[in-house]
Amino acid sequence: MAIREIITLGHPTLRQKARKVTKFGPELQQLVDDMIETMRTAPGVGLAAPQVNVAERVIVVELPADEEENTPAELYTFVNPEIVKASRDKEEDLEGCLSIPGYLGDVERHVEVIIRGQDVHGKPQRIKAYDYLARILQHEIDHLDGVLFIDRVSDPSKIRPITAEETAGATGEVAEAVALMPK
């Protein structure tokens, strides 16, 4: 495994529509392994292949362990993911992005989605995701279409730098978002 460079806003690959993966094998497995290591090192909760300058439809997502609920971290890998169903209910919440370091914005997302795709071996898979996992999956799938969270913010004034107070004294979901942003 290797840590890959995460490209940032302004790099043309971030705005391209990623290609569908048609070849499953060692190269794809290496990409996924590298993406997981890169995401964890960043640190982040999700990463799309275009963020490491690979214009292919691959995402990795890892929900952190929840000590209060005594649940372990959950890792998801999707090749050629697509949203096949989304709830009518939406919720606005803070998002950040490893490709737009140091910034947060309020983004409205569906609270529930059904995602269909393949695993790293090409086997079909499907997941019904709620709340935070649904938000992360939507964010990462957007990357595959050249869409960034800043494109989803209803009001550009809602995009802002992370403040020192948020970094030092944040709690709850804000703390989670702030902790996951590169400094």
> Which are the catalytic amino acids?
140
C-alpha closest to that of 20 among 59, 61, 55, 60: 55
Element (H, E) at 177: helix 172-179
Tell whether the torsion through CA atoms of 125, 117, 54 and 173 is positive or negative: negative
Q: What is the DSSP string of 111-155?
A: SEEEEEEE-TTS-EEEEEEEHHHHHHHHHHHHHHTT--HHHH-SS
The answer to whether the beta carbons of residues 149 and 139 sit under 8 Å apart is yes
Torsion angle in degrees (nearest 10) through CA of 34, 7, 117, 44: 70
Length of the chain: 183
Q: How far apart are CA 69 and CA 162, in angstroms?
A: 28
